[in-house]
Structure formats: C-alpha cells, structure tokens
Amino acid sequence: MHSGPVQVLAGALRPGKPIRQPTLLVAGATGTLGNEVMRRLVGHQRFGATYVLAREPIQAGLRGVALHRVESDSPRQWPLLPADTGVILFEPPRLFHDRERALWTPQPGQLVELALWMRRSGVTTLAVVLPHAQGRLPEALKRGLAGLDEHAVSTLGFERLLFVRSAQRPGAAKERGFLPSTARWMLSIFRYMIPSSEQPVRSVKVAEFVASALRHATPGIHVAEPAVVWRAAQGDVDAVVREWLAR
C-alpha cells in the first residue's frame, strides 16, 4: 500500500529524535583571553551545555553556562563530569574582578592531571590555550608554561588535541640591552600610528582562532605555533585554521 500525500506530509511533520549537542567544559575562564574565549564559544551556540570550573559558588554571567564547583586543587580527587569538548587556559584572573577570582584557574604543572580528568570524564576534543601576552604574566607562571608537558597530554587518547601557543609575529628576536629597550619604549609612544598588522594580536582574535579550530578540528594532534595564530589574526581566520589543520 502506497502512502498518499497526506501521510507523507504527516510523517515529515512528525517530530524526530532531538539531536544531542555536545557539552563543553572550560578550566581557566579568567583574564581577558579566557573571557573572550568563553563569549565566543557560548555565542556560537554549538554546545548544549557549558560548564566552567569554579572554586566558589557564584552566579554565571552568560546564558547557558553553569558553574561546576571543585572542592580541591587536585583534579584526581574530583568526581567525573561528563563532557565532550574541553578547553584549558592558564591566564590568571584580572585584578578587581571578584567574579574571576571565584573561578578555578589551573597552574601549568596541573595540565596532565587536569587533562586526564577531562579524558576520564569523556572529553574527546581538547584545546590547550596558552596566554598570548606572556610578558605581563608572573615569573612563576612563565616558568611553568615554559616546561609544559605537552607530550604527556598527547598520550592520553584524545581524538582531537589542539595546542594554541602565544600569538607572535614571525621575525627576528628582539635585541637585549639598554639602548634597544629604550628605543622600543620610545617607539611604543607612537603605537597609534602603527598599522594594525604590526601591533600585537588582540585577545578577541585569539579567541576567534580557538573557536574556529574547535569547529574545524580533525582527528589528530595539532599545534598552532605563534606565527600561525598571528597570521590568522591578520585576515581570514577560518581559511588559515583550515590550512593549518590540513597539514
């Protein structure tokens, strides 16, 4: 018996099974970069739920975002939190931002333990985002980032693993010494006259890179060197990200 047009139309209008959107888990949603990454990822509405790790109970500032309070600084002691995509950032909370001080921010030495906890929670796609303006970070944090154990994380079994390093224009290293430092300081006074392509990458551009990388991520381990992030910020971010992921 063939179905008539009425039956076909009724079948098309019948609600099907809802498509489950992935769950996002963020550790370190602090600082200018962490705030921009959160806004970008939540604004795209690709995730059905977003959890941010916090050390104190506060009200989330973004719609669709829930805070997950952790009771200690040791991820191995935390109960698992089911999620599909994870983002780890290390930028410290901004001064005078009480809400950010209530969030939990990992230290570089906790990367492997935190990544393992996320993997055990079901995370298959992980992005590790380094602060893009490391010159303003505390010395202890800079030393920790320099010794980041990326190799250990790569052995944990993530389907897609992204490392986004500090954005930096490719070129010769800066000269050290009093005279070069003085010259750079004097030139910085006229920064407003410098073309945007010559200026440091803004946090919003790094956040756009991270969001695009998560959207287009292919299976495997992908490391975005500083020059790649800088180049993406100068033009079509999606095009640079797709080219980088295709390598």
Q: Is the pLDDT of residue 181 over 70?
A: no
In a domain, 8, yes or no: no
- pLDDT, residue 64, reads 76
Span 88-130, pLDDT tens digits: 999 888 877 777 888 999 999 999 999 999 999 999 999 999 8
Q: In total, how many domains does the chain have?
A: 1
In a domain, 6, yes or no: no
- 60 pLDDT band, cuts 50/70/90, is low
- pTM equals 0.79
- 65 pLDDT band, cuts 50/70/90, is confident
By the 10 Å C-beta count (0-12 exposed, 13-18 middle, 19+ buried), 95 is classed as: exposed
- Assign residue 56 the CATH number of its domain: 3.40.50.720
Q: Of all residues in the chain, what percent carry a pLDDT higher than 90?
A: 47
In a domain, 77, yes or no: yes
Q: Is the pLDDT of residue 70 over 90?
A: yes
- pLDDT, residue 138, reads 65
In a domain, 114, yes or no: yes
Q: Is the pLDDT of residue 245 over 90?
A: yes
Q: Select the more confidently predicted residue: 59 or 238.
A: 238
Weakest mean pLDDT among 11-25, 93-107, 197-211, 232-246: 11-25
Q: What is the mean pLDDT of residues 149-154?
A: 91
Span 14-45, pLDDT tens digits: 555 556 789 999 999 988 899 899 999 988 88
CA distances from 218 to 125, 231, 245, 247 (A): 10, 20, 7, 11
In a domain, 105, yes or no: yes
In a domain, 226, yes or no: yes
Calculate the CA dihedral of residues 17, 18, 19, 23 and round it to 10 degrees. -130
Give me the helices (H) in the chain, please.
5-13, 31-43, 98-101, 111-120, 139-146, 150-154, 178-188, 203-216, 226-233, 237-245
By the 8 A CB rule, do 160 and 218 touch?
Answer: yes
What's the domain range around 44? Answer: 20-245
- 237 pLDDT band, cuts 50/70/90, is very high
Q: Is the pLDDT of residue 168 over 90?
A: no
Q: Is the pLDDT of residue 218 over 70?
A: yes
In a domain, 10, yes or no: no
In a domain, 11, yes or no: no
